[in-house]
Structure formats: C-alpha cells, structure tokens
A and B are shown apart, each in its own frame.
Chain A
Amino acid sequence: MMTKIKIGIGIAVVALIAAALLWLKSATKGDYVDFGAEDAIEVTPTQIQSMKAIGEWEFLSVSAEELVDTVRKGLFKDDELVRIYYGTLRLGLNMHQVEPGWIIVQGDTVTMTLPKIGLLDKDFIDEGRTKSFYESGSWKPEDREVLYKKAYRQMLAHGLTPENLQAAEANASQQLRNMMQSMGYANVKITFKE
C-alpha cells in the first residue's frame, strides 16, 4: 500500500515538473537578453551659416585619396595612426576676377582675356568621408588635426602641379572656344593673364 502511494506521489511530482517546464518554455518564448551600446548618432539641425553667389568655372577636377600616418615612439612599443583622406582639387577660373573689357567682339571675332587658372577653393578635403585604416594607442583630436594638415599638403603637392594647371588651361580654351563658336563667332582668341 505504502509503495503504491510513493509511486503515485513520484508520478505527480514528475508531472508537476514537466508542466512547470512546459509553462516556462511557453512563457519565455521570444525572450532575449542583449548587452551593449547603440551605434546610431544624434545630430543637431543643419545650420546654414552663409550663402553667397559665386562664379567659379571649373575646367579640371583632381580627385585624390591620401593615406596618411603618424607614429609616436614609446618606451616599449610605438603607437601608430593611419587614416585615408579624400578630396577634390578644382582648377579653373574665378569669373569675379575678370576685368572690364575682358571680352571684346569685332564682327565674327571674339577676343577673351582671362584671369590666371588656379585652385578655385582652398577647402578641398572632405573630412567627413575619412576612413580609419589602423590605430594602436590612444590619439587626441589635435593629432587628427595634424594628420589632416599633412593630407592637405600632400594633396596640394600631388594635385596642384604645373601639368594639371596646363591641362586645365587647355581645356578652358577648348570649352570657351566651343561655347563662343556655338554662339556664332567663327574666330575666338583666348589669352590668360600671367
């Protein structure tokens, strides 16, 4: 008799445990635990600081990627920061620099005296596109500013070359000649100021 009671209690306990496990499984279905931080940024509204009319005529664009690095010597190991900067040097004419009488028409002949071809804008690096390539050690914003200046100098040295300035001048002549000829002027003379 006692044995049957024990068996009955055992079966009841097992059934209860099974029921509890089934309930727990259904109650925790879809549960999850995550530990970490979010990557998304918040931004303030874009503020327009200034707007102005310009007259920059670009005839050659030089897009550059520069890999720039800096090394800090340490006692046991060196720290290194390597970044890739992107920028576009725009070469052409600033039409606000033309002088009165820069374009003269005589019959079917147009004579244009243009300002010197140069870099249209000194701000040419798109730092927002910068990619981090390698970092060891801890670096401050001032170090990144130094790297930016280094990339700036490199892009100028590689992009603002006499060859590129000549190519921009040649293309300016060709484009403006085409434009004047499409306006009906057969002879177009173009000179650039020294």
Chain B
Amino acid sequence: MKRIIALVIVVILVIAGLFCCDWHLQSNDEDGKDTLYQAVDTLPMLIMQVQKCSKLYTAEYRVHKIITHDDALRLKGSFLQRQFNIKMPLADRKIAIPMDAKLKAYIDFTQFSEKNIERQGDKITILLPDPQVTMTSSKIDQKNVRQYVALTRAQFSDAELSSYQQQGRASIIESIPRMGILEQAQANAAKVLVPMLAEMGYKEENITIAFRRSYGPKDIQSLLKIED
C-alpha cells in the first residue's frame, strides 16, 4: 500500500514539474518577444568621451584602397611527406571592398608656452612641437562593393566583412610612413602661423617657424596617433 502511495506522489510531482517547466518556457518566450519589440528601435549610444585639446591640423590626405578577398575552399595537407593544396570546385567566394580614408597631420599646442618662443628685437622664432598624424575618418563605398558567391557557399557574414574592413584600415595605417605627410604638415604650419604673426605686426622676413628637426618615414611610427 505504501509503495502505491509513494508511486502516486512521484507521478503527481512529475506531472506538476512538467507543467511548471512548460509555464516557464512560455514565460521566457513572452519575455523574448518583449525584448525583441524593444530592440526594433534604435539602441542607445554606448560611450561618449569629450576631451579638451588644442590641435592645429595643417595637412589633409585623402586616400583610397580596394580590399579584396578570395575565399576559395581548399583541401590542404601532406601525405607521405608530399604537400597537396587542392582548390575545391564550385566553392568560390570573392569580394572587393573599396575604402576611402582621410589622414590629417597636426601640431599639438596643449603644452605650448613661452619656452616655444624666442624674440630678438623685431624678430620672432616659434619652435613648434613635433607634428603628429591621425586617421580622422574612413568610409566604405558600399555602392561599389562587389561580391561573387558560388551556389554551394553562404553569403559573406557581417562579422567577416567587418574583419576585412579592419584589416584594410590597418593596411592604410601601415602605408602612412611612405606618404610624406609629416613634411607637408611642417610646411603647412607656416602657412597658418605666418599670416597670423604678420597680422600682429611682424614682417614676414622676421618670422621663423621652426621644428626640433626634420622628420622622416622612420619617425612616423612614434608620431602616429591612431585609435584602435
């Protein structure tokens, strides 16, 4: 008799458990729907950082690059010490992403003080801090993105595209030392500061804009200010 009662209790508990479980699942579904509807509208901004500065941008370069990726499926390996690399048929994926970027060189005046100025009678010399380079913007030319995907393959995912774009951006940054932007920044700084000092009454021949030294491609690695 006791066994029968215990068995009935167990059956009731199991049925109750199943009901509870079902109710919880339904409840989760409803929560999920709520979250989905909330997510339809624009999500809030993540972070905003405001920083005071004093940077004089003197040179701007617009650059262009096409990022390509050939995503053919390959069977690679070695067997009996012999290498093989076989391209699988009908499994090609290719993409070309045109990218434009804007690079700017600037002089940071935040630490500018009387130490940067030398005056001798009517003559004035401004000793400027080292110029620096940054990438101020980049843009994917979405209209001209071209992709070819074989029937057996899936479309490029958004994560894959983002990864290729990040690699393309890094490639532009790598090529900055060969562009001569620092030399341009130095020359252009005078074009902004000399008219200002001339307005203040100095004769142009008495104005000298100087840097610590001339900068070459080797220096640019230390003068690049790129956000990750």
Does B associate with A? yes
> Which A residues are within 8 Å of any B CB, using their own CB?
27-28, 30-69, 71, 78, 80-84, 86-88, 90, 95, 100-105, 110, 120-121, 123-132, 135, 138-139, 141-142, 144-145, 148, 150, 154, 158-159, 164, 167, 171, 175, 178-179, 182-184
With A131-B162, A167-B52: A55-B136 Cβ-Cβ less than 8 Å? no
Q: Tell me if A66 and B46 are in contact (CB < 8 A).
A: yes
User: Interface extent on B, as a size class?
Assistant: 35 or more
Q: Which of B12-20, B22-30, B63-71, B204-212 contacts A (4 or more CB under 8 A)?
A: B63-71
Q: Which residues of B contact A (CB under 8 A)?
A: 36, 39-40, 42-81, 93, 99-102, 104, 106, 109-110, 112-114, 116-117, 119, 124, 135-140, 142-143, 145, 155, 157-159, 161-169, 171-172, 175, 179, 181, 184, 187-188, 191-192, 196, 199-201, 227-228
Q: How far is the CA of A127 from the CA of B145 in the complex (A)?
A: 14
* A-side contacts of B104, CB under 8 Å: 54, 56
Give, as a whole number of angstroms, the nearest-CB distance from A24 to chain B.
9
Please give the distance in Å from B10's CB to the nearest CB on chain A.
39
Neighbouring B residues of A145 by C-beta, 8 Å = 142-143
Task: Point out the residues of chain A lying under 8 angstroms from B114, CB to CB.
Answer: 182-184
Q: In the complex the two chains form, what is the Cα distance from A120 to B192 in whole Å?
A: 16
Task: Tell me which residues across on chain B come within 8 A of A68, comparing CB atoms.
Answer: 42-43
Known: A27-B80, A129-B227, A139-B158. A58 touches B54 (CB 8 A): yes
Shortest CB distance A63–B (Å): 4
Chain B residues with CB below 8 A from A30, complex form: 78, 81
Rounded to whole angstroms, the CA-CA distance of A81 and B56 in the bound complex is: 38
Instruction: State which of A63, A90, A125, A183 has its C-beta within 8 Å of the C-beta of B48.
Output: A63
Q: How many angstroms from the CA of A83 to the CA of B74 in the assembled complex? A: 31
Contacting residues, chain A, for B201 (C-beta < 8 A): 105
Looking at the complex, which one of A34, A64, A69, A103 makes contact with B45 (CB distance below 8 Å)? A64
Residue numbers in A under 8 Å from B74 (CB-CB) = 35-38
Kindly state the separation between the CA atoms of A62 and B51 in the bound complex, as whole angstroms. Answer: 6
Q: Are B66 and A87 in contact (CB under 8 A)?
A: no
Closest chain A residue, CB of each to CB of B75: A35
Partner of A158, one of B48, B135, B200: B48
Known contacts A43-B168, A51-B60, A64-B45, A179 near B192 by CB under 8 Å:
no
